[in-house]
Amino acid sequence: MACRVIEYGGAMSRWAPDAALRLERAAVELFTVQGYAATSVPQIAARAGLTTRTFFRHFPDKRDVLFLRERELPGVVAALVAGAPAFLSPLGLVMHGFEAMATGPFEGWREDIRSRRAIIGSDQGLRERELLKNVLLGEVISEALERHGVDGDEARMVARYGVTVFELALTDWLQADGSAFVDVLHSTAYRMGRLVRPARQGE
């Protein structure tokens, strides 16, 4: 939402707004230029005109700075699932939520997401954090499903499945050229559903 450009060099003393956003921008720039491991937290803080201690007030650790933009994601998706038509199947509810978000602001974030994913892919610790965020998203979706009357076990399974589809679709979308995310999401869901459908022969 709040995505206005921040300037660093000038008189950017404290009490300036968007401290977290400034820190995030400084971090992404430094990570891109010199790599994640080679960038220290004091370096990021200095570039944002803040101190190390303040960095850790806005982010629980160094990794988390790359996921600032996704903090509201679980709440948004859960709300969309909660507002889905009640006649849908459990999987239909989840996909409705993702679909509603995919048709929204997602298209404009493509390059931002791509650059962050490039950094995340370069470090094992960042990959781990991303996986945790996805699982947490799944748990929130699972709760939303339960409020729709879905059984707990089924909610967990469908939520995990939906998040997996979302993950794979996101990767495809970033690699593909020009396709709308909604279309990639649908395609991935369809292909995966076909593969997972109990085969006629064997198993």
Which spans of this chain sit near a second copy (rule: CB under 8 A)?
A: 85, 87-92, 95-96, 124, 127-129, 131-132, 135, 153-154, 156-158, 160-161, 164, 167-168, 188, 191-193, 195-199, 201-203
| Closer CB to DNA, 89 or 122, in the complex | 122
CB-wise, 22 or 116, nearer to DNA? 22
34 vs 171 by CB, closer to a second copy: 171
Question: In Å, how far are 76, 80, 161, 188 from 193, measured between CA atoms?
Answer: 25, 22, 10, 8
Residue 47's binding partner, choosing from DNA, a second copy, none, with beta-carbon cut-off 5 to 8 A by kind?
none
Residue 25 contacts which entry, DNA, a second copy, none (Cβ below 5-8 A, type-dependent): none
Residue 189 half-sphere exposure toward CB, CA atoms < 13 A: 18
- Integer Cα distance of 46 and 144 in angstroms: 41
Give the distance between the most distant pair of CA atoms in the chain: 70
Torsion of CA 164, 142, 97, 68, to 10 degrees: -70
* Residue whose C-alpha is closest to residue 23's, from 67, 73, 88, 86: 67
CA 95 to CA 33: how far, in whole Å?
Answer: 37
CB 54, min distance to a second copy, A = 22
Nearer to DNA, 99 or 130 (CB): 130
Tokens 């948004």 appear where? 76
- What residue 102 binds from a second copy, DNA, none (CB within 5 to 8 A, per partner kind)? none
Binding site for DNA (CB under 7 A): 14-15, 19, 39-42, 49-54, 56-58, 60-63
CB of 157 to DNA, least distance (A): 32
Number of Cβ within a 10 Å radius of residue 18: 13
Residue whose CB is less far from a second copy, 29 or 139: 139
**The entry of a second copy, DNA, none that residue 30 binds, CB within 5 to 8 Å by partner kind:** none
